[in-house]
């Protein structure tokens, strides 16, 4: 069940996505945290952020639109209050960080490099809900430069989490790969909007938000498929994953591991079920390891 | 600053289950009571806590909805086996829920949230608006010493008097009044159209209850935000302790999404967004930045 993401080795390919699992402790009675292939706590910023005004989420057809706005207490509070609990878990902890400038990313990476219990970093260069948050995820050159400078600041394995809200995601992925990312996480939420026509108002406090859940799975699969063709860097599939069929689709399309997001909200024990069902699904393809199925999708036409 | 009502742990007793519907009956206009078989949750839950419910095997509606405990149901040996939830059929989930019959299932996870604290008080005054009466049947029963909740059961000296001030749009929207009266809870009603009880606001009813019973009391309140704010303001003016149960929109109910935030005052005069589902839904009225 082991998977290798560049320099990062994970016990299995079922991870939980940043922002959809709190700081893990909230889930300790609903999920056996030790079984997870990796835990990504909610994205941390250097300084505390209150987040956006409510309404922060609204349900859409088979999806969820959110504009949380990276509500978090900042890096110092994360290291003091959340990391001690997280490092006690056997699951690898991949800390998701977001900065407004390359310097912020670099300083945070260096600080987390010194803190014990961190298995890797995911650079959130794709949050649609904060200004400046997506620049590194939409421009290939700044993406590559950012990852290069973070690599110089830390020995920790790096994942680059990309946004689907670009014209050619393979270009950004190539830049992340050139910059030295150990793996590329695809995708963050899809920019969207909900309207209350009776009151002639946007529903979300922040007007626009990121769409997640089963509604975006086809977009995420397409991104994984396109990027798998463009780079050899391992990929982590994210977007609407809720069943073992979803997991297998992402693996076959080219992802070495997956992150479960919105499904944690509406089916808190989902990851445990996926872990139970994964060996049987691999067996159906005659595979003895996860790697045996990754990217095995056939070319048609 | 941690609220004094802050739950010691997060969803520390919560379980996720597929729960069988035992019955689903109409109580009032568009208002139903669904009875779910779930001995584990029924044994653990306390008044003011809630569960998340979701239709099984569909992706639309996708997200669970929060529902307050109405009451638990005991078997012949006095063991809690079932949970009653009272809901207003008004949207995507509840309209579908109203069509479900006995033998069908709902996905449920709970108990969630902090619940009302078990602090004894001579007179408990419960103020409800709209569908906000739902947390108060179990709470009233517990404070009258007629029922116990939680595992191990919470025990404390009973109140001498429990009053419900209940405001609704019209008489046909009043749901569960018999249940409250049967329990020995004094019920005072206000309707917007005067079809039943006082013609006007529930805060006016509360005012007269406070005037005629000046003894030691505590106010607990659940309903539309405007009403809760008015009750909180009245309580503050009269120097009455007051707790409110917020019904902030939620997406997970377990503290992992940061949807359900409310502005809670901190020690240095400012405020911070706090998650209602884990730090609430019950807060001291004075701690809320309305
Ligand atoms: C702690 C807590 C306890 C609760 N307890 C109870 C309870 O005991 N009983 C009960 O009936 N309810 C309770 N609720 C409310 C419940 O969780 C649901 O919100 C409610 O039942 C409606 O769900 P629905 O799916 O039927 O409606 P939805 O389809 O979700 O709609 C809910 C309301 O929001 C409006 N709305 C939805 N989407 C939009 C949009 N895009 N734009 C504008 N407006 C929109 C709708 O008009 C509707 O009035 C509680 C909530 C909380 C947080
Ligand atoms: C409410 C909410 C908050 C999120 N917060 C973050 C975050 O802080 N950092 C991040 O990298 N991604 C965040 N995401 C994106 C998810 O990690 C994930 O990429 C996305 O939701 C798609 O996966 P899903 O469809 O399985 O949810 C958030 C998603 C949601 C729904
Ligand atoms: S509803 Fe998700 S954090 Fe409260």
We report the CATH number of the domain holding residue A100 as 3.20.20.70
Tokens coding A250: 């992402």
Residue B1 falls within a domain, yes or no?
Answer: no
Specify the pTM.
0.96
For B61-111, the DSSP string reads S-S-EEEE--EEEE-TTS-EEEEEEEEE--SHHHHHHTT--TT-EEEEEEE
Residue B290 CB–ligand 3 contact under 6 Å = no
Residue B64 CB–ligand 1 contact under 6 Å = no
With a pLDDT cut of 70, the percent of chain B lying above it is 96
Give pLDDT, residue A126: 87
Q: What is the mean pLDDT of chain A?
A: 95
Give pLDDT, residue A132: 55
Residue A292 falls within a domain, yes or no?
Answer: no
Residue ending a domain, choose from B78, B93, B112:
B112
Residue A196 falls within a domain, yes or no?
Answer: no
Are the CB atoms for B140 and B116 separated by under 8 Å?
A: no
Which domain CATH number covers B239? 3.40.50.80
Q: How many domains is chain B partitioned into structurally? A: 2
Give pLDDT, residue A135: 75
Give pLDDT, residue A136: 87
Same domain, B74 and B157: no
Ligand nearest to the CA of A264: 2
Residue B3 falls within a domain, yes or no?
Answer: no
Residue B87 falls within a domain, yes or no?
Answer: yes
Residue whose token pair is 């026509």 = A197
Residue ending a domain, choose from B112, B138, B172:
B112
On the CB side of B220, CA atoms within 13 Å amount to 27
Rounded to the nearest angstrom, the minimum Cα separation between A152 and chain B is 32
Same domain, B194 and B218: yes
Q: How many domains is chain A partitioned into structurally? A: 1
Which domain CATH number covers B53? 2.40.30.10
Residue A231 falls within a domain, yes or no?
Answer: yes
Residue A198 falls within a domain, yes or no?
Answer: no
pLDDT band at A290 (very low <50, low <70, confident <90, very high): very high
Residue A101 falls within a domain, yes or no?
Answer: yes
Identify the residue whose C-alpha is closest to ligand 2 atom 29.
Answer: A19
Q: What is the mean pLDDT of residues B259-272?
A: 94
Residue B193 falls within a domain, yes or no?
Answer: yes
Same domain, B72 and B147: no
Residue B8 falls within a domain, yes or no?
Answer: no
pLDDT band at B11 (very low <50, low <70, confident <90, very high): low
Q: Which domain holds residue A253?
A: 3-51+68-190+213-284
Q: What is the mean pLDDT of residues A84-110?
A: 96
The reply to whether ipTM tops 0.85 is yes
Residue whose token pair is 């739950």 = B7
Chain A CB contacts of B92 under 8 Å are 59
Q: What is the pLDDT of residues B155-186, one digit of tens each?
A: 999 999 999 999 999 999 999 999 999 999 99
Q: Does A22 touch chain B (CB under 8 A)?
A: yes
Residue A201 falls within a domain, yes or no?
Answer: no
Residue B226 falls within a domain, yes or no?
Answer: yes
Tokens coding A228: 């798998």
pLDDT band at B5 (very low <50, low <70, confident <90, very high): very low
Are the CB atoms for B32 and B87 separated by under 8 Å?
A: yes
Residue A184 falls within a domain, yes or no?
Answer: yes
Tokens coding B112: 């969630």
Residue A203 CB–ligand 1 contact under 6 Å = yes
User: Is residue A223 annotated as a catalytic residue, yes or no?
Assistant: no
pLDDT band at B3 (very low <50, low <70, confident <90, very high): very low
Residue of A nearest to B110 (CA): A30
Chain B CB contacts of A57 under 8 Å are 63, 249, 251, 257, 259
What length does chain B have?
290
Residue B118 falls within a domain, yes or no?
Answer: no
Interface test with chain B among A26, A239, A260, by most B beta carbons within 10 Å = A26
Taking 80 as the threshold, does the pLDDT of residue A129 lie above it? no
Q: What is the mean pLDDT of residues A35-40?
A: 98
Same domain, B178 and B247: yes
Give pLDDT, residue B2: 37
Residue A166 falls within a domain, yes or no?
Answer: yes
Q: What is the mean pLDDT of residues A257-275?
A: 98
Q: What is the mean pLDDT of residues A74-84?
A: 97
| Alpha helices, H only, chain B | 39-44, 92-97, 136-143, 177-182, 202-212, 225-238, 276-279
Q: Which domain holds residue B220?
A: 123-287
pLDDT band at A127 (very low <50, low <70, confident <90, very high): confident
Taking 90 as the threshold, does the pLDDT of residue B50 lie above it? yes
Chain B CB contacts of A240 under 8 Å are none
Give pLDDT, residue B6: 41
Residue ending a domain, choose from B112, B147, B173:
B112
């Amino acid at each position: 069940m082991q998977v290798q993401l560049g320099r990062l080795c994970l016990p299995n390919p079922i991870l939980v996505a940043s922002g959809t699992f709190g700081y893990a402790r909230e889930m300790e009675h609903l999920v056996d945290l030790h079984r997870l292939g990796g835990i990504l706590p909610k994205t941390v910023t250097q300084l505390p952020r209150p987040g956006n005004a409510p309404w922060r989420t609204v349900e859409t057809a088979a999806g969820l639109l959110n504009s949380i706005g990276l509500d978090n207490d900042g890096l110092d509070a994360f290291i003091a209050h959340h990391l001690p609990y997280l490092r006690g878990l056997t699951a690898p902890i991949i800390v998701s960080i977001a900065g407004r400038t390359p310097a912020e990313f670099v300083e945070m990476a260096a600080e987390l490099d010194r803190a014990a219990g961190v298995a890797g970093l995911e650079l959130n260069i794709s949050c649609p809900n904060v200004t400046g948050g997506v620049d590194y995820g939409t421009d290939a050159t700044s993406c590559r430069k950012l990852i290069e400078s973070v690599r110089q600041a830390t020995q920790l394995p790096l994942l680059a989490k990309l946004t689907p809200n670009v014209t050619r995601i393979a270009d950004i992925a190539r830049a992340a790969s050139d910059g030295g990312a150990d793996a590329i996480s695809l995708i963050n939420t899809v920019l969207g909007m909900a309207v209350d026509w009776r009151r002639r108002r946007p529903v979300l406090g922040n007007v626009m938000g990121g769409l997640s859940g089963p509604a975006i799975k086809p977009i995420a699969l397409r991104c994984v498929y396109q990027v798998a063709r463009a780079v050899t860097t391992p990929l982590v599939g994210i977007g609407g994953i809720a069943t073992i069929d979803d997991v297998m689709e992402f693996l076959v399309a080219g992802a070495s591991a997956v992150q479960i997001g919105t499904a944690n909200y509406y089916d808190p024990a989902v990851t445990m079920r996926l872990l139970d069902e994964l060996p049987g699904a691999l067996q159906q393809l005659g595979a003895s390891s996860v790697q045996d199925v990754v990217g095995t999708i056939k070319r048609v036409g | 600053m941690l609220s004094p009502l802050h739950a010691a742990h997060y969803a520390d007793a919560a379980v996720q289950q597929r729960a069988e519907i035992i019955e689903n009956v109409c109580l009032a206009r568009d208002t139903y009571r669904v009875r779910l078989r779930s001995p584990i949750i029924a044994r653990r839950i306390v008044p003011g806590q809630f569960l998340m419910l979701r239709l099984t095997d569909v992706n639309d509606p996708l997200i669970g909805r929060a529902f307050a405990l109405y009451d638990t149901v005991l078997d012949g040996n006095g063991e809690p086996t079932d949970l009653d939830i009272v809901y207003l059929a008004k949207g995507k989930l509840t309209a579908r829920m109203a069509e479900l019959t006995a033998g069908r299932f709902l996905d449920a996870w709970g108990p969630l949230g902090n619940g009302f604290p078990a602090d004894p008080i001579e007179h408990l005054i419960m103020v409800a608006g709209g569908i906000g009466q739902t947390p108060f049947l179990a709470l009233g029963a517990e404070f009258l010493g007629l029922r116990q909740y939680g595992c191990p059961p919470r025990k404390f000296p009973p109140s001498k008097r429990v009053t419900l001030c209940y405001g609704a749009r019209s008489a046909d929207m009043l749901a569960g009044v018999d249940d409250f009266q049967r329990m020995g809870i004094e019920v005072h009603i206000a309707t917007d159209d005067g079809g039943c009880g006082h013609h006007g606001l529930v805060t006016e009813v509360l005012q007269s209850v406070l005037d005629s019973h000046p003894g030691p009391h505590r106010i607990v309140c659940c309903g539309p935000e405007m009403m809760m704010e008015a009750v909180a303001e009245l309580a503050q003016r009269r120097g009455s302790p007051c707790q409110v149960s917020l019904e902030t929109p939620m997406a997970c109910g377990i503290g992992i999404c940061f949807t359900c935030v409310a502005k809670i005052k901190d020690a240095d005069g400012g405020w911070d967004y706090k998650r209602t589902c884990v730090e609430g839904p019950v807060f001291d009225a004075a701690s809320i930045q309305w």
